[in-house]
Structure 1
Amino acid sequence: MIEARQFTLVTGGSSGIGRAICEALLAQGRSVLNLDYRAPAWHHDQLVSLQADLTKQDAIEAAAHEIASKYTVIALVNNAGATRPGSIDTANMADLDDVVGLHLRAPILLTQACLPALRASGQGRIVNISSRAALGKPERIVYSATKAGLIGLTRTLAQELGADGITVNAVAPGPIATELFKNSNPEGAPQTQRILDSILVKRLGTPEDVARAALFFLAPENGFVTGQVLYVCGGTTLGVAPI
């Protein structure tokens, strides 16, 4: 039986940027469907959470089938991701397979699953969470390559789906103070200070900064903005040629 509510689907919504996006949507009174490999440690009456390992194609396909058969999704946020640090000397294909699953395969399969409801709404919204690293970042070979691919996917989907009233945009965060970032860049460490020194506004971003950008693209009234990339980066992309 199909759930009567209309949902915004957010992948990787249990923590970090995904959680901030979910909470911002819930604060607007929306119903949110969270798809993550682990259940959230927080709850809300309008939040439904499903679990799936989005690095695995069979798990993505199973989740996509369940979502398409049970839920009406009128907006989709492809947020789930992983960095898998490594240079060209150390990158391995297992890491590549994982991030291709998260950053490309899952967005494509979930978009396909949600398309009927997105089209039927007349104002469907897709937001892909890319990264400033799409412009190039040492020690992030597989991450930057797939995040750049997500921008290409965004632009192509925008061209294919615009006539259906569906907008497709990307948010590309720079340094954001998530737990993952803090674990890799401890406070007071030299590399952390170098990152701070590169940020024009002299602070790290917050998950809420990214969530506010996503909300702009998700708003029903913002139907004349599509195929765009918004860098939420504190100015770190200035002077770098955009994709």
Structure 2
Amino acid sequence: MARKIVVTGASKGIGRVAADALAASGWEVIGVARSAPDSFPGAFITADLGDEVATAALATELTARGDVLGIVNNAGAARTEHFGAIEPADFMGLLAFNLRPALQLTQALLPGMQAAQFGRIVNVTSLVTLGLPLRTSYAASKAALESLTRTIAIEQAPHGITANAVAPGPTETELFRQNNPVGSAGEARYLSQVPMNRIGTPAEIAAAIAFFASDAAAFVTGQTLFVDGGASLGRN
């Protein structure tokens, strides 16, 4: 029986391409998003991860399938905002959306991974954790996810479970292009921060996700890999 891996936010963008990469490397992929794509390399479950009760029901369904030994926590939302104008409720709401589903789903799958003495947890974070204007809530949530990654890694290492994070830089997704059309000032601002002077592709992010999920990465845990064309250089 093939090992199963869950990918959240799998209907488009990085999540959809990661599903292809994981399926190609031998995983049986289970995608999760609010709506299903036209095609998908595995099973697909529609669920609203913004709803705590719906997420709990999804967690129960996933554990009942058995042999779900991996998860890619990719679903998330971003927002442009000035620090001085953020309402506390909005701040906490975005943190909850970007963190709670990863907590609920990963917790639910841990017992099965522990029993198998094998597990792969990959959290998709962001370059913005190193600091970027107008990204207070988003950056805080992704930084928290990176911290959570390290805690999981050190606690679960004795069980053969690894936890790592992939932090993309600007990536050629539908959402990125919606907010930053070709030739726009937004695109120019992002390109000015990337030494390679181009936007990354979902396939390049997916390759890092697939590596962390592979047997080849069995001795790598608690790490955050920036896939950003060098944008993180000199910013640590």
Using structure 1 for the length normalisation, give the TM-score: 0.92
Q: Does 1:18 align with 2:15?
A: yes
> 1:170, 1:227 within 8 Å by CA — same for their partners in 2?
yes
Q: 1:173 to 1:206 in 2, by over 3 A?
A: same
Letter in 1 for 2:28: S
Which residue number in structure 1 is paired with residue 121 of structure 2? 126
Aligned partner of 1:40 in structure 2 is: 37
Q: What one-letter code is carried by the residue in structure 2 that aligns with 1:39?
A: A
Q: Is the 8 A contact 1:155 1:169 kept in 2?
A: yes
Aligned residue identity for 2:48: D
Which residue of the other structure, out of 193, 200, 204, is the alignment partner of 1:198?
193
- Stretches of structure 2 that go unaligned for 5 or more consecutive residues are none
Match of 2:228 among 196, 213, 233: 233
Shift of 1:97: 4.4
Bigger mean CA offset, 98-107 vs 207-216: 98-107
Runs of 4+ with deviation above 6 angstroms:
none
Q: Give the SS at the match of 2:38.
A: coil
1:81-132 Cα offsets, whole Å, 9 max, x none, are 1112212233335543443233211111111110122112222110000001
Structure 1 pair 13–98 and aligned structure 2 pair: CA distance change class (3 A):
farther
Q: Does 1:67 align with 2:46?
A: no
Corresponding position of 1:27: 24
Letter in 2 for 1:17: I
| 1:65 Cα deviation from its structure 2 partner | 1.1
TM-score of the pair, normalised by structure 2 = 0.95
Matching residue within 168, 171, 179 for 2:166: 171
What do you get for the CA RMSD once the two structures are aligned?
1.5
Q: Secondary structure of the residue that 1:89 maps to in structure 2?
A: helix
Runs of 5+ consecutive residues of structure 1 not aligned to the other structure: none
Please tell me whether residue 9 in structure 1 is matched to residue 10 in structure 2. Answer: no
| Range moving further from structure 2, 48-57 or 126-135 | 48-57
With over 3 angstroms needed to count, the CA separation of the structure-2 counterparts of 1:106 and 1:221, relative to structure 1, is same
Match of 1:89 among 84, 90, 113: 84
Is contact 2:25–2:210 with CA below 8 Å preserved after alignment?
A: no
Pairwise mapping of residues 138-157 of structure 1 onto structure 2 (< 5 A)?
138-157=133-152
The answer to whether the 8 A contact 2:130-2:235 is kept is yes
Q: Which residue of 1 aligns with 2:180?
A: 185
Contact 1:9 1:34 in 2 (8 A): yes
TM superposition shift of 1:194: 2.3
CA distance in 2, matches of 1:101, 1:51: 20
Distance 1:170 1:69 in 2: 26
Deviation, 1:69, is: 1.7
Identity of aligned residues (%): 42
Is contact 1:57–1:101 with CA below 8 Å preserved after alignment?
no
Deviations 1:176-219 (A, max 9, x none): 01010011111111221121122111110010110001111111
1:66 CA displacement: 1.2
Residue 174 of structure 1 contacts residue 236 of structure 1 at CA under 8 Å; is this kept in 2? yes
User: Given the superposition, is the C-alpha separation of residues 97 and 33 from structure 1 closer, same or farther in structure 2, using an over 3 Å criterion?
Assistant: farther
